C-alpha cells in the first residue's frame, strides 16, 4: 500500500484494557468514555487487487500500445486512486466524520486525472445530523436519534448463538495488533473483520453487528474496526491507519458545518 497518509496504528492517552465476564454478570455502566479518533482506508478489491487501479493500468497500457499522446497519473496520484479515507471523531453523545475519496477523471482521450470527493457528517450539539458535500457545497440535516449511554460490554454480549454456529460462523480468534487485543471474526463465506477488544470496557462492542456499511465505511458509535478483508479477495478491504484514544477533540469538530441547511 503506497498511501502517504497511512501511519502506524497508535492507541495512546489512557490505559487500555480488555473485558471479560461470566455469562451471568450484570451489565454495568461503562468506564468514562474517552474521545476516540480513527482513520480508515477503504478500497474495493477484485481478485485481491485494487479494482480501480487495475482498470486504470489496463487503459494506460492501451493508450501506450496505440501510440496515443497520454497524460498519466503521477505515482502519488495512483496511490489514492479508488481509495476512500474516513476520519471519525467520537465523544459521548457526539460524532463527526470527514470522508474523502479519489476516482479517475478522464477529461480527454488518454488524458488521465484524479477527482476528489469530500463529505462531512456531524452529529452536532443541537442533536441534528448534518451532511455537507464539500465538492458541490450542498448540505442537509435531519433530526438525530438520541445516543444511548455506553454500557460496558461483556464476552457474553458478543457470543455467537447456536444458530450462527450452525450457519457456519466460527468463534473469534484473539490476535494482537500493535500490542492491542483484537477479535477476528470470519463469516461462513470467508469475510474477516478484526475489531478492537480493548474498547469493550468503554461500551464499544467487539462484535460485528452494524460496524461496517454496505460500502465498507466504518459506522460511528459501534465497534472500532482494525481491519477487514473480503472473501476470496473480492469486496471491500478496510484498514485502520490511525486509532487515537484519549486525546481531546476540538469542540469545532462537532459544530454545524457552514453551508448545511435543514431539509423540511
Per-residue pLDDT at 105: 93
pLDDT-wise least confident of 52-61, 91-100, 134-143:
134-143
pLDDT-wise least confident of 53-57, 133-137, 242-246:
133-137
User: Each residue of 24-33: pLDDT tens digit?
Assistant: 444 554 567 7
Mean pLDDT of 233-243: 94
User: Each residue of 158-189: pLDDT tens digit?
Assistant: 676 666 676 777 788 889 888 888 999 888 88
The Cα 193–Cα 103 span in angstroms is 25
**Exposed/middle/buried for 60, CB within 10 Å: 0-12, 13-18, 19+?**
middle
Higher pLDDT, 205 or 183: 183
Per-residue pLDDT at 245: 87
**In sequence order, which residues have a C-beta less than 8 Å from that of residue 75 and are 6 or more positions away?**
2
**In sequence order, which residues have a C-beta less than 8 Å from that of residue 26 and are 6 or more positions away?**
none
DSSP 250: P
Residue 21 has pLDDT above 60, yes or no: no
Cell numbers for 7: 501511519
pTM, two decimal places: 0.82
Chain mean pLDDT for the chain: 80
Higher pLDDT, 14 or 241: 241
Grid cell 478500497 — which residue?
43
Per-residue pLDDT at 16: 34
Q: Where are the domains of the chain?
A: 36-249
Query: What is the sign of the dihedral through the CA atoms of 150, 156, 158 and 162?
Result: negative
DSSP 190: S
Q: Are 51 and 44 in contact (CB under 8 A)?
A: yes
Per-residue pLDDT at 103: 97
Burial 125-146 (b: 16+ CB within 10 A, else e): eeebbbbbebeeeebebeebee
Amino acid at each position: 500500500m503506497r498511501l502517504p497518509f497511512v501511519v502506524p496504528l497508535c492507541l495512546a492517552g489512557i490505559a487500555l484494557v480488555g473485558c471479560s465476564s461470566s455469562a451471568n454478570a450484570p451489565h454495568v455502566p461503562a468506564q468514562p468514555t474517552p474521545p476516540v479518533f480513527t482513520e480508515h482506508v477503504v478500497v474495493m478489491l477484485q481478485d485481491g487487487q485494487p479494482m480501480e487501479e487495475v482498470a486504470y493500468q489496463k487503459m494506460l497500457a492501451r493508450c501506450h500500445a496505440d501510440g496515443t499522446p497520454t497524460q498519466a497519473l503521477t505515482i502519488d496520484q495512483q496511490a489514492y486512486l479508488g481509495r476512500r479515507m474516513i476520519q471519525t471523531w467520537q465523544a459521548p453523545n457526539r460524532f463527526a466524520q470527514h470522508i474523502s475519496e479519489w476516482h479517475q477523471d478522464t477529461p480527454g482521450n488518454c488524458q488521465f486525472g484524479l477527482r476528489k470527493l469530500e463529505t462531512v457528517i456531524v452529529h452536532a450539539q443541537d442533536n441534528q445530523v448534518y451532511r455537507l458535500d464539500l465538492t458541490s457545497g450542498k448540505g442537509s440535516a435531519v433530526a438525530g436519534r438520541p445516543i444511548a449511554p455506553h454500557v460496558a460490554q461483556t464476552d457474553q454480549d458478543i457470543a455467537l448463538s447456536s444458530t450462527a454456529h450452525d450457519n457456519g460462523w466460527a468463534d473469534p480468534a484473539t490476535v494482537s495488533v500493535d500490542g492491542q487485543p483484537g477479535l477476528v471474526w470470519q463469516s461462513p463465506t470467508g469475510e474477516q473483520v478484526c475489531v478492537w477488544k480493548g474498547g469493550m470496557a468503554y461500551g464499544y462492542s467487539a462484535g460485528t453487528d452494524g460496524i461496517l456499511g454496505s460500502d465498507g465505511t466504518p459506522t460511528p458509535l459501534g465497534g472500532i474496526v482494525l481491519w477487514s478483508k473480503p472473501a476470496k479477495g473480492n469486496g471491500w478491504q478496510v484498514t485502520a491507519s490511525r486509532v487515537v484514544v484519549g486525546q481531546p477533540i476540538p469542540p469545532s469538530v462537532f459544530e454545524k458545518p457552514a453551508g448545511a441547511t435543514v431539509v423540511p
